[in-house]
Structure 1
Amino acid sequence: MLPLRLARPARGLVAVVALLALGACSADGDPSASPSASSTPTRAPLTFEEATAALMESLVPTATVDRCDEYEPGSPEAQEYLDQLAATQAEETALPGPVLPQCGNPLLIDVRAASLAGHAFALGDPIELPVAGGASRVIEVYEMPDVESAQTAVATEAADLEGWAVDRETPRVDNADGTYIPRTVVSASGVSEVDLPGWTAWALTRDEASFQDDGSIAADPYSAALLWAARDGIVVRVQVVGDTPGQAVATALDTATRYVQALRAD
């Protein structure tokens, strides 16, 4: 994803040239003339509280829904949570001390996070893939230290350094207990920038299928997608798993679009 890295200094160079040109024009004009005020209203930066308020259950399958919210360490809300948890564990001396919840990807260097996960099945029920709209859908919101770190996080994920969105075939794997994992084929994979107004957004997608040794299908194929988006100091991740082949990226974008619309409604 080399163009991602090259595009940033190029835009910076254009901005410098534009500023120099504006300076030259001002020098040739009336020195007493003041620049006209912009008619575009200044948009306030998106806050973590606003971003998490838009996490609504209507965005995910609702057979089973899990919500996770982190607290800023040292905040009154965090202390209240720890006090309540300590009170419930008071009689369970074997339990470790109370800790704050951890949501989302622990490898992302964020300030705090929240997530909403929805599944099209109840826990313990058999799962038959694919499911239109995804068997599972997760939306995660991260508050990053600053705008640059938010953009960097999305650019890093779009680079797909681990090759998640790359076509490949994995041979059958025999386990020690006598079971095995059939041959798996990843296809129709790729990374693309997607249109999410007001956000920098990229989507990664792939189809998965598994086959028996004789070439017959071991499990029906399905698609999966990851969508990463950044605005101000906020990063949003949408994950779709178990959708019909070729459709997960559309489901992820639709989910992200409805999430953004919910933000505007607030």
Structure 2
Amino acid sequence: MHPARRAAAALAIVVLAGCSAGGGSDPAASPSASSTPTRAPLTFEEATAALTETLLPTANVQRCDEYEPGSPEAQAYLDRLAAEVAATQDEEAAASPTLPQCGKPTLGDLRAASLAGHAFAVGDPVTLPFAGGASRAIEVYEMRDEDAAQTAVATEAADLDGWAADKETPRVDNADGTYMPRTVVSEAAVGEVDLPGWTAWALSRDEASFQDDGSAAADPYATALLWAARDSLVIRVQVVGDTPGQAVATALDTATRYVTALD
């Protein structure tokens, strides 16, 4: 595979695995109690049950679920993992199994779950852009309360690390002989999006890569991150490898179908 194309395929997985962006403007004011029907707060269990493969590309789907430490579910997971590792005769690993970690570790959540889908199987080549995104993910976080959820989304929307900012990064040579070509980020933006019942923001950018002689290393593609809060829940939708300018629309469509199923 062309080194730049292989790098692009790897990028789709890397971004979904750990990329994050900022948060921030003040959350929109909540409707007054007199004009809003009383409803029960959404639960984490309801949110995770709505994570279905129909929302994502399905050539390669990965599910991750966290468990509350000390819960029967957590203990059952640890026991099962220890038994599986013991069967490999790795005594040291069997003695110290750990609970899974999903999504963004620094968000300060109580629990998280995620579902990621890719339009290509592991090891297959992928050419970007891919309409609807070569990779998409939905992550659900349970925060300690509604204020913590709103604060988390506001912080992410502030984009303190400048992920959604126009910039250029030089070529990077990897130890295995491959390389990441010079990359130019353009059309970067942060904006509030309409997700009924939720406070929602989207961060996006288009990315293009170039060889040392200035020729295109791969076709440009779009990436987006959508953050939303409701009750004590936060969701993040990630889209990687979409048609330039279309990643936010894909993320919002995915989020809309998800929250519709959730309701």
TM-score grouping bracket, smaller chain normalisation: 0.7 to 0.9
For residues 44 and 77 of structure 1, do their structure 2 counterparts lie closer, same or farther at Cα, with a shift above 3 Å needed? same
TM-score by length of 1: 0.83
Q: How many residues align?
A: 238
Q: Say which structure, 1 or 2, has more relative contact order (CA 8 Å, 6+ apart).
A: 2
Structure 2: distance between partners of 1:80 and 1:141: 22
Instruction: Give the corresponding residue for 1:242.
Output: 241
Instruction: Give the corresponding residue for 1:133.
Output: 132
**Structure 1 residue 95 corresponds to structure 2 residue 93:** yes
Instruction: Please list the CA deviations of residues 137-175 of structure 1 after superposition, one character each: whole Å capped at 9, or x if unmatched.
Output: 010000001111100110000000000000011233455
Cα deviation, residue 117, structure 1: 0.3
Structure 1: distance between partners of 2:74 and 2:187: 44
Cα deviation, residue 2, structure 1: 11
Q: Which amino acid aligns with 1:95?
A: A
Q: Which amino acid aligns with 1:94?
A: E
For residues 39 and 3 of structure 1, do their structure 2 counterparts lie closer, same or farther at Cα, with a shift above 3 Å needed? closer
**Structure 1 residue 85 corresponds to structure 2 residue 73:** no
Q: Which amino acid aligns with 1:86?
A: A
For residues 38 and 184 of structure 1, do their structure 2 counterparts lie closer, same or farther at Cα, with a shift above 3 Å needed? closer
For residues 43 and 87 of structure 1, do their structure 2 counterparts lie closer, same or farther at Cα, with a shift above 3 Å needed? same
Structure 1: distance between partners of 2:53 and 2:153: 24
Structure 1: distance between partners of 2:23 and 2:76: 46
Question: Percent sequence identity over matched residues?
Answer: 76
TM-score by length of 2: 0.84
Instruction: Please list the CA deviations of residues 69-121 of structure 1 after superposition, one character each: whole Å capped at 9, or x if unmatched.
Output: 11111111111111222222334213251111111111111000000000000
For residues 45 and 176 of structure 1, do their structure 2 counterparts lie closer, same or farther at Cα, with a shift above 3 Å needed? closer
- Unaligned runs of 5+ residues in structure 1 are 16-36
Instruction: Give the corresponding residue for 2:224.
Output: 225
Structure 2: distance between partners of 1:40 and 1:153: 24
**Structure 1 residue 122 corresponds to structure 2 residue 143:** no
Over the residues paired in the alignment, what is the CA RMSD in angstroms? 2.3
Conservation of the 8 A alpha-carbon contact between 2:133 and 2:241: yes
Structure 1: distance between partners of 2:208 and 2:44: 38
| Equivalence map 1:51-62=2 (5 Å) | 51-62=47-58
| Equivalence map 1:44-193=2 (5 Å) | 44-91=40-87, 92=89, 93-96=91-94, 97-174=96-173, 179-193=178-192
Larger gyration radius, structure 1 or structure 2: 1
Q: Which amino acid aligns with 1:116?
A: L
SS of the residue 1:4 aligns to: coil
Q: Which amino acid aligns with 2:209?
A: S
Q: Which amino acid aligns with 1:148?
A: D
Instruction: Give the corresponding residue for 1:253.
Output: 252
